[in-house]
Amino acid sequence: MNSSLDRSASSRPFRILMVCMGNICRSPTAEAVLRHQLQRAGLDKQVKVDSAGTHGYHVGSPPDPRSQEHAALRGYDLAPLRARQVSTLDFRDFDLLLAMDGDNLAMLEHNCPSPELRGRLRRLLDFLPQGSSHAGTVAVPDPYYGGEQGFGHVLDLVESACEGLVNDLRQRLASPGHRAQSHFAER
């Protein structure tokens, strides 16, 4: 057990950081979807969500207009979000950093300032529910250079994984010592 992740239920909310490359397509989409699902599940006071990119290409920019358009069609508002880059402090400030793909997970692992914080790093799709039509998918593909259908596919994957994550969080937050690293290290 990692004591840096073991906090009492009365302390600050559990914090999740969604991570992709530029923080203008996948991770802001995941941030908005998870926030919506947490609110619907009544967990929005217990869990806080943010997003960031492993690269600083778009710092300060709003999400890609295509991401905003496709998200809006499903009831998610990405307009207030602004891109930022993952910082060294994020590894300590967030309880779980969820990468959209293996490349971004590898970059998080490379930049992680301490071996004991690596247990906080995972792929979002690790939380796909059993029996999901997306089972076996390991990466949320970057839709930036593709066609319009890629943005819908990102939403399909993110919605499904966030559903699994919310179910996992609901169980974890209800159990004593819910911030233990081992809760997220294996599923």
Which residue in the list 26, 35, 122, 123 is annotated as catalytic?
A: 26
Token pair in block for residue 113: 């300032």
pLDDT over 90 (residue 2): no
The CATH number linked to 22 is 3.40.50.2300
Does residue 124 sit within a domain?
Answer: yes
Range of the domain at 126: 14-182
Name 15's bridge partners. Answer: 48
Domain assignment of residue 6, yes or no: no
112 is catalytic: no
Amino acid at 73: L
**pLDDT score of 57 more than 70:** yes
Establish if 137 belongs to a structural domain. Answer: yes
- The percent of residues above 70 in pLDDT, for the chain, comes to 89
Task: Return the pLDDT at 12.
Answer: 86
Domain annotation covers residue 8: no
pLDDT greater at residue 102 or residue 172: 102
pLDDT (tens digit per residue) in 72-102: 999 999 999 999 999 999 999 999 999 999 9
The single residue listed with the structure tokens 């619907």 is: 40
Active-site hit among 35, 66, 142, 162: 142
Does the residue 142 lie in any domain? yes
Does residue 9 form part of some domain?
Answer: no
Question: What are the tokens at 106?
Answer: 């590898």
Helix (H) or strand (E) holding 39: helix 26-41
In a domain, 5, yes or no: no
**Domain-located, residue 174:** yes
Q: Are 39 and 57 in contact (CB under 8 A)?
A: no
Is 142 among the catalytic positions?
yes
pLDDT value at residue 146: 86
Pick the closest to residue 142 from 19, 59, 50, 36 (CA basis).
Answer: 19
How confident is the model over 119-148, as a mean pLDDT? 95
- 172 catalytic residue (yes or no): no
Residue 22 or residue 186, greater confidence:
22
- Number of folded domains that form the chain: 1
pLDDT at 180: 44
pLDDT of the residue at 147: 86
Residue 15 has pLDDT above 60, yes or no: yes
